[in-house]
Amino acid sequence: MAGIRSHFIFRRDATLKVRTRARAGLMSVFFLLGFGLVAARLVDLGIAGTNDGLSSSWKQISSAVYRPDIVDRQGRMLATDILTGSLFANPSRINDADTTVEQLATVLGGIKPRTLRKRLQGSGKFTWVARELTPRQQAQIHELGLPGVDFVQEPHRVYPAGPTASHVLGFVNVDNRGLAGVETHIDRMAGVSASRSKRGQEPAPVRLSMDLSVQHAVHAELASAMKRYQAKAAAGIVLDVHSGEVVAMASLPDYDPNHRKQAMDKNRFNRITSGVYEMGSVFKVFTTAGALDTGVTSLDKGYDATHPLKVASFTINDFHAKRRWLSVPEIFIYSSNIGSAKMALDMGRKRHKEFLGRLGLLSRMETEMGPTAMPIVPRNWSRLNTMTIAFGHGLSVTPFQVASAAATLVNGGYKVAPTFLARSRDEARIQSKRVIKLQTSDLMRYLLRLNAQQGSGRRANVAGYRVGGKTGTAEKVVNGRYSRRALMTSFLGVFPMDAPEYLVLVVLDEPQRVAETKGKATAGLNAAPTVGRIVERIGPMLGVTPVLDRGRKRFDEHVRASY
């Protein structure tokens, strides 16, 4: 009996051991599965973090988009995205809205407590608290340990060059979507995405025609001119006359696109593309070119500028009156309103208007930044309109249109659509067409160079760069009347004139009569020397080699021979 009992006890103990081992094995399997799931999730999150750089809930929470980088023609960074923290709340998890708002206000000085408190007391599960936080603000809020609030990382646009190129680049809203400048072009290209690209698959940078070094020089010289001549504003553009590329464009006062609220200031608009002005005597380049191109005049022809022109109650006079017959070159370098008006009358209203329209001066211009401002064109183009528009009054256009149209006059007669994106001269030539004769272009180059040597553009004549150009001084309309005290001055410069490559247009808004200009405020004393200083700085940057001015005689002979 004792043996049998011992046998049963042994079998019972063995059975218990097997069951215990089975249970342990089963528990081990459960633990392994659990740890495996956790590990898999961690790996998944790790991979997601590597690919996205964001939490898995980012796409559901944020409406911000990623944008491609923007670089200048040399590949230098102009705009890029970085990750910044944004703070959101789940009102259903907020225990004490008053305390939460009170503590957040100690870090976020810009919040409106009453509005935020109302949102936190709502029944929803999501509301934004603040976006685009600094790392310091994130750390301070994190230390508060507030239940119901959390962070999400969002793409945020930054502009390393600050205000230097603001009017070209534009800016974005809080969701990183373009609101102005080239940034709007990127949106139209569908170049933004709500999810970040995988490593190695980021969109290619958008390469602009702008040269950041040239842009900086233009920006600095415009700022200097504003201070030097006590002007209300200044604007300038540098254009490649063959490719149509905008190499630089600035308008002051400007704004820092890193602080988008500055752009809301109505005085910080882009005067090159969004302002329309009567450009004054700069328009005489178009009048002269039109008269030469249509064959109604020639360099050997002259006009009687002895007496003012009177049309009804309107009198057309010359600022630098010579009171004699003037040849066409003299009309150009002495900037005769009388001579220019008579040339336009020889063209006739129909041909005059058609020529300006052919150059793109009577309609909006489309670029990657969108359309320019609409020109103000006379509703009924009368004989008097033809006479006054001939010397730059009665037709308001953007400086951008003037620069583009003037490029046609010196590049051999081709109308090239301007662009803010990099492209070659060969590509531009394929897309362009000749709208004036090559001979007309040669003659205009001669006259522009002559004006910089002997006329109102002498102060833009930089040694070695063979600058040519035309001044423009226009009276602004104040209280319905032209004011002699409120002037808009400009200078249209081109260099080098024997083989034109670049055009520089500068506009100054209400420059004052300062000691440096001997109490005068005309374009030849402020806008022209500003262009000269710009050319002197950017010429080497653009690879234009300065040479001794020995080629003038050969250039003159070439023009005369072709004529």
Domain boundary among 184, 207, 230: 207
pLDDT in tens, 215-242: 999 999 999 999 999 999 999 999 999 9
Q: Helices marked H in 230-307 — which ranges?
A: 284-293
Query: 132 with 225: CB under 8 angstroms?
Result: no
Instruction: Give the separation between CA 163 and CA 179, rounded to whole angstroms.
Output: 16
Strand order in the sheet with 233-240: 246-252, 233-240, 502-509, 481-495, 468-478
Examine the pLDDT at 95 and tell me if it is beyond 50: yes
pLDDT in tens, 169-214: 999 999 899 999 999 999 988 666 655 544 445 788 999 999 999 9
562: pLDDT confidence band, cut at 50, 70 and 90? very low
Please indicate, yes or no, whether residues 279 and 195 belong to a single structural domain of this protein.
Answer: no
In-domain check, residue 52: no
Instruction: Give the separation between CA 443 and CA 438, rounded to whole angstroms.
Output: 9
- SS3 readout for 168-220: HHCCECCCCCECCCHHHHHHHCCCCECCCCCCCCCCCCEEECCCHHHHHHHHH
Domain boundary among 192, 207, 222: 207
DSSP 373-403: PPPB--SS--HHHHHHHTTT-S-BB-HHHHH
CATH number of the CATH domain containing 372: 3.40.710.10
360 φ/ψ sector (left φ>0, alpha ψ -120 to 50, else beta): left
CATH number of the CATH domain containing 170: 3.90.1310.10
Catalytic residue, candidates 209, 281, 340, 396: 281
Please indicate, yes or no, whether residues 292 and 203 belong to a single structural domain of this protein.
Answer: no
Please indicate, yes or no, whether residues 179 and 297 belong to a single structural domain of this protein.
Answer: no
pLDDT in tens, 360-393: 999 999 999 999 999 999 999 999 999 999 999 9
Instruction: Give the separation between CA 204 and CA 67, rounded to whole angstroms.
Output: 10
Please indicate, yes or no, whether residues 201 and 307 belong to a single structural domain of this protein.
Answer: no
In-domain check, residue 147: yes
In-domain check, residue 240: no
In-domain check, residue 143: yes
Please give the average per-residue pLDDT across 439-452, as a whole number: 97
This prediction has a pTM of 0.84
In-domain check, residue 193: yes
In-domain check, residue 23: no
Give the model's pLDDT for residue 154.
87
In-domain check, residue 252: no
Domain that holds residue 386: 273-503+533-562
How many domains does the chain fold into? 2
Please indicate, yes or no, whether residues 373 and 466 belong to a single structural domain of this protein.
Answer: yes
Nearest to 448 by CA among 316, 313, 281: 281
Which of 117-131, 154-168, 398-412, 525-539 is least confident?
Answer: 117-131
Pull the structure tokens for residue 26.
Answer: 């089963």
Instruction: Give the separation between CA 430 and CA 428, rounded to whole angstroms.
Output: 5
pLDDT in tens, 304-343: 999 999 988 889 999 888 999 999 999 999 999 999 999 9
Chain centroid to CA 43:
45
Nearest to 295 by CA among 440, 488, 495, 81: 440
C-beta atoms surrounding 469 within 10 Å: 34
Examine the pLDDT at 118 and tell me if it is beyond 50: yes
Backbone angles phi, psi at 220, to 5 degrees: -65, -40
Please give the average per-residue pLDDT across 130-139, as a whole number: 88
Please indicate, yes or no, whether residues 203 and 343 belong to a single structural domain of this protein.
Answer: no
Please indicate, yes or no, whether residues 201 and 285 belong to a single structural domain of this protein.
Answer: no
Query: 446 with 391: CB under 8 angstroms?
Result: no
In-domain check, residue 234: no
Domain boundary among 157, 174, 207: 207
Instruction: Give the separation between CA 451 and CA 330, rounded to whole angstroms.
Output: 9
Q: Where are the beta strands (DSSP E) in 375-430?
A: 414-415
Whether 483 is catalytic is no
Higher pLDDT pick, 152 / 163: 163
Average pLDDT value over all residues in the chain = 87
Please indicate, yes or no, whether residues 427 and 334 belong to a single structural domain of this protein.
Answer: yes
DSSP helix/strand/coil, 342: helix
Query: 165 with 237: CB under 8 angstroms?
Result: no
Please indicate, yes or no, whether residues 166 and 294 belong to a single structural domain of this protein.
Answer: no
Cβ contacts of residue 65 below 8 Å, gap of 6+?
Answer: 155, 175, 176, 177, 192, 193, 194
Q: Which one-letter DSSP state was computed for residue 247?
A: E
Please give the average per-residue pLDDT across 140-161, as a whole number: 90
Q: Please report, to the nearest 10 degrees, the dihedral formed by the alpha carbons of residues 321, 399, 375, 380 taken in order.
A: 20
64: pLDDT confidence band, cut at 50, 70 and 90? confident
Nearest to 286 by CA among 444, 468, 176: 444
Higher pLDDT pick, 170 / 108: 170
Please give the average per-residue pLDDT across 35-46, as a whole number: 41
Please indicate, yes or no, whether residues 547 and 473 belong to a single structural domain of this protein.
Answer: yes
